[in-house]
Amino acid sequence: MSDAIRVRLTGVGGYLPRDVVTNDDLAKKFGIETSDEWIRTRTGIGQRHIASGDETTASMAAEAARQALDYAGVDVSEVDAVLVATATPDQVFPAVAVQVQARLGMTAGFGFDISAACSGFVYALATASALMQSGQAKKILVIGSEVFSRLLDWTDRSTCVLFGDGAGAVLLESGGEEGEGILSTHLHSDGRTGDILYVDGAVGCPSTSQHLRMQGREVFRHAVVKLSQAVDEALAANGLTGQDIQWMVPHQANLRIIDGMAKKLALPSDRVVVTVDRHANTSAASIPLALNEAVRDGRIRKGDLVLMEALGGGLTWGSALIRM
Ligand code: ACO
């Protein structure tokens, strides 16, 4: 990335719905033919947060954004743009980002949503970074917010146990020291694999269920290969090796995938931020939620080199390297 305009990450925030549903709850209260043992062994998931009626993609996004602004000590009037990565907007339009602007009292600047499924946050970071590099904005809120519980087929035990709801946000600001901020981002997609993870239909497709469908084993296979490539690409672009990485903040789909990537980088497990056990897979919200947690509890500190990676429906996948 050019040294002309640096893009720093100065604020973090997150929101998790009030209701927590454990694996045992799914089996006992929801009547799903599953068990804590099955879900935990295959995915590392122990519980998830599920949004209630008043918790929407926009309301959760706005709360996470407020926290990110507070953390950075920046007033909303200084923000030039809001980007929301989501696969679960509350309405087809207006975009969630524009609704967030209204909720925050932001009357200037612009906002739009990014649709790249579970890779959405990495895509939004890359887009925001490019807008800042080109001088179109100096401060951007980048948010991932999802209510996947509303996309799930609750009669399909192979998918409904995997996901949760929530929102995470970061504030990006231009400026900073040499070598600080977003060092590079790497995006990929391949529509030929669209049929292994998708939502069956959309508004205007009345014959469809509008539920998430997935071939879990196929997704797993692609995730291991493609995430490895995206990580190698990020390291090579910056002349780094796995040993240089202080923290991995991966998309939280499955603990086995996360462990595989950590092993590849020879990163000890205490250098990997894991939330999948408590949040399950919150799609585009998972990376900023994990980052929020690790920055606020003091694990990730200023100067640390952080690697992010994600893969999702499309398939889409990518990585980002950030010096905090
Ligand atoms: N509880 C109990 N049994 C179940 C459940 C459940 N929730 N779901 C499926 N089973 C059963 C199946 O019916 C099957 O039974 P059978 O052998 O009698 O037919 C058996 O468990 C094995 O099913 P598989 O689908 O083959 O299970 P697998 O070991 O592949 O694990 C899983 C499934 C966890 C989804 C795995 O494939 C995976 O992790 N894939 C990655 C997908 C992923 O993470 N997706 C998230 C979205 S994409 C992303 O964010 C990267």
In this structure, are residues 37 and 212 in contact, taking their beta carbons and an 8 Å threshold? no
Mutate to test the pocket of ligand 1, among 30, 33, 148, 158 (most ligand atoms within 8 A of CB): 158
Q: Is the CB of 162 under 6 A from ligand 1?
A: yes
The pLDDT, as a whole number, for residue 3 is 52
- The Cα 73–Cα 130 span in angstroms is 23
Lowest mean per-residue pLDDT among 45-59, 142-156, 190-204: 190-204
Distance in Å, CA 216 to ligand 1 centroid: 6
pLDDT digits (tens, 9 = 90+) for 97-144: 999 999 999 999 999 999 999 999 999 999 999 999 999 999 999 999
Mutate to test the pocket of ligand 1, among 23, 30, 154, 254 (most ligand atoms within 8 A of CB): 254
Structural domains for the chain: 7-174 (3.40.47.10), 181-323 (3.40.47.10)
- The Cα 259–Cα 268 span in angstroms is 10
pLDDT digits (tens, 9 = 90+) for 2-45: 457 899 999 999 999 999 999 999 999 999 999 999 999 999 99
Q: Is the CB of 254 under 6 A from ligand 1?
A: yes
pLDDT digits (tens, 9 = 90+) for 56-94: 999 999 999 999 999 999 999 999 999 999 999 999 999
Q: What is the secondary structure of 287-314 as a DSSP string? A: HHHHHHHHHHTTSS-TT-EEEEEEEETT
3-state secondary structure of 24: helix
Distance in Å, CA 158 to ligand 1 centroid: 5
